[in-house]
């Protein structure tokens, strides 16, 4: 049977490696290296260079196709956490109940399935050998007592490459692109007061501060979590951000592209602020922190989700220590983006929404600073503006490659970032010290 499956994968071509809804084509030099039988279905493993591609498979009416949530293959793969099969190993850290109906949870990069409304199996469509933030960050956070996240249950590996994780499902939870956008929209429609929406930024700010304090606490997983970046590493951040900005300018067409290229020189000036920073604290961070990673359950509890890191970055970059200011800048950008999304739906209320964005950002930042307590040295304010520019450039690239309709969001947000950056530069053009003590 395994030979039949191999032949079917080879005959199917690139489509078998592409999750539903994905547009990007697999690399042309991709080769099939393994087919692993599961208790239901199979897992195909492909390789191109150091990158591993993963495809869950199912035989359907004598034809082999890529499995989707609902076929039962995701539950079978999650079952490997506690019951290894030849070719795959499981690393349990909790107890999973993988019985019951399987349904899609949706994800722009990987594939997620809810099993029995109790567990979530995430299949990594593209992965690579070695350490993975999706495993070691939740393990570290659990070790230091941080519980404001879906509880990890375990992981599945092919050789030394992560292929799936299993976490606890939070029933009824919505991510911030649902609940936060709905809250702002309710204010626009007059269903709630704007003041009622303001509490959400404060709650998120406190949560992110607690996350960063936990990430900065030593554990057996990360014994020395806080380090210091020198001028050479900081210069590399600037080069990477400028490369992303150049890519965004090249990929973005239409009026948005014209506007982006017109303000690109000002964006490069904002990025040059990194040259004035010679050292700064770094540690492992979330790495892809936006409102979509903030789950809100029916009891109004907030949890941080999805520790995979930036899906557009190679894994090696996602496990490198980074400045906590990057997470903060990205969340500030996301709050802005919530407003832009609602303004697209209700252009007649753009003025009111724009007036909400700045106070919401300020409330998040104030709550974050307060939440850091005696670890306020973790946040280097000098990095916030250049990281904000880098994030908006990333949003343009993401839109060009995956979601073209999203481009209107960074198109509206980047000019506001540059106005803030220019105002702060004119107010305080001198570097405020040589760095932060990390104690």
Q: What is the mean pLDDT of residues 228-239?
A: 97
Say whether pLDDT at 405 is over 80: yes
- The pLDDT tens digits of the residues spanning 271-321 come to 999 999 999 999 999 999 999 999 999 999 999 999 998 766 777 778 899
For the CA atoms of 291, 388, 216, 280, the dihedral, rounded to the nearest 10 degrees, stands at 180
- The pLDDT tens digits of the residues spanning 244-282 come to 999 999 999 999 999 999 999 999 999 999 999 999 999
> Which among 92-96, 148-152, 309-313 has the top mean pLDDT?
148-152
Q: Determine whether 348 is exposed, middle or buried from the number of CB atoms within 10 Å of its CB (0-12, 13-18, 19+).
A: exposed
Q: Of 420, 107, 434, 157, which Cα lies nearest the Cα of 293?
A: 107
Residue 435: DSSP 8-state: -
Positions of CATH 3.90.1200.10 in the chain: 176-427
Whether 228 contacts 281, CB under 8 Å: yes
> What is the Cα–Cα distance from 83 to 393, expressed in whole angstroms?
44
Q: What is the mean pLDDT of the chain?
A: 92
Q: What is the mean pLDDT of residues 371-393?
A: 97
- The pLDDT tens digits of the residues spanning 389-401 come to 999 999 999 999 8
Say whether pLDDT at 363 is over 90: yes
pTM over cut 0.95:
no
Say whether pLDDT at 436 is over 90: no
Residue percentage of the chain with pLDDT more than 90 = 79
Q: Sorting pLDDT into bands at 50, 70 and 90, what band is 187? A: very high
> Which among 56-60, 93-97, 236-240, 433-437 has the top mean pLDDT?
236-240
- The values of phi and psi at residue 85, to 5°, are -125, 160
> What is the Cα–Cα distance from 145 to 147, expressed in whole angstroms?
6
Q: Sorting pLDDT into bands at 50, 70 and 90, what band is 429? A: very low
Whether 52 contacts 126, CB under 8 Å: yes
C-alpha distances in Å from residue 176, one per residue of 206, 282, 388: 16, 27, 19
Q: Is the dihedral of CA 14, 18, 23, 28 positive or negative?
A: negative
Say whether pLDDT at 62 is over 60: yes
Which numeric CATH code is attached to 176-427? Answer: 3.90.1200.10
């Amino acid at each position: 049977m395994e030979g039949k499956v191999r032949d079917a994968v080879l005959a199917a071509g690139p489509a078998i490696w592409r999750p539903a809804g994905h547009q990007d084509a697999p690399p042309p030099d991709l080769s099939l290296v393994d087919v692993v039988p599961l208790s239901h279905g199979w897992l195909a493993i492909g390789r191109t260079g150091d990158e591993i591609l993963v495809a869950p498979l199912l035989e359907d009416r004598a034809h082999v196709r890529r499995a989707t949530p609902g076929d039962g293959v995701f539950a079978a793969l999650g079952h490997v956490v506690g019951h290894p099969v030849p070719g795959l190993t499981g690393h349990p850290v909790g107890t999973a109940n993988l019985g019951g109906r399987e349904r899609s949870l949706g994800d722009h990069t990987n594939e997620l399935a809810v099993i029995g409304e109790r567990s979530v199996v995430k299949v990594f469509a593209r992965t690579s050998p070695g350490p993975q933030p999706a495993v070691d960050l939740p393990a570290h956070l659990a070790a230091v007592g941080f519980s404001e996240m879906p509880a990890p249950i375990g992981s599945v590996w092919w050789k030394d490459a992560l292929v799936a994780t299993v976490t606890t499902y939070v029933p009824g939870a919505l991510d911030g692109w649902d609940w936060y956008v709905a809250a702002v929209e309710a204010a626009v429609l007059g269903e709630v007061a704007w003041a009622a929406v303001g509490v959400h930024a404060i709650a998120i700010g406190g949560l992110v501060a607690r996350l960063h304090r936990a990430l900065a606490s030593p554990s057996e997983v990360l014994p020395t979590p806080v380090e210091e970046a020198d001028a050479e590493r900081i210069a590399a951040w600037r080069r990477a951000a400028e490369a992303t900005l150049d890519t965004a300018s090249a990929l973005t067409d239409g009026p948005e592209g014209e506007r982006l290229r017109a303000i690109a020189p000002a964006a490069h000036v904002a990025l040059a602020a990194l040259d004035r920073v010679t050292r700064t604290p770094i540690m492992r961070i979330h790495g892809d922190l936006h409102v979509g990673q903030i789950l809100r359950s029916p009891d109004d509890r907030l949890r941080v989700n999805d520790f995979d890191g930036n899906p557009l970055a190679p894994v090696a970059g996602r496990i490198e220590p980074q400045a906590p200011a990057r997470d903060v800048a990205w969340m500030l950008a996301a709050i802005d983006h919530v407003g832009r999304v609602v303004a697209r739906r209700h252009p007649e209320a753009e003025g009111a929404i724009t007036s909400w964005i700045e106070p919401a950002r300020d409330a998040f930042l104030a709550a974050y600073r307060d939440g850091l307590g005696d670890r306020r040295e973790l946040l280097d304010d000098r990095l916030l503006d250049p990281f904000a520019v880098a994030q908006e450039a990333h949003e343009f690239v993401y839109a060009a490659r995956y979601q073209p309709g999203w481009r209107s969001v960074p198109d509206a947000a980047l000019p506001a970032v540059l106005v803030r950056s220019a105002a702060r530069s004119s107010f305080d053009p001198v570097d405020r010290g040589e760095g932060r003590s990390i104690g």
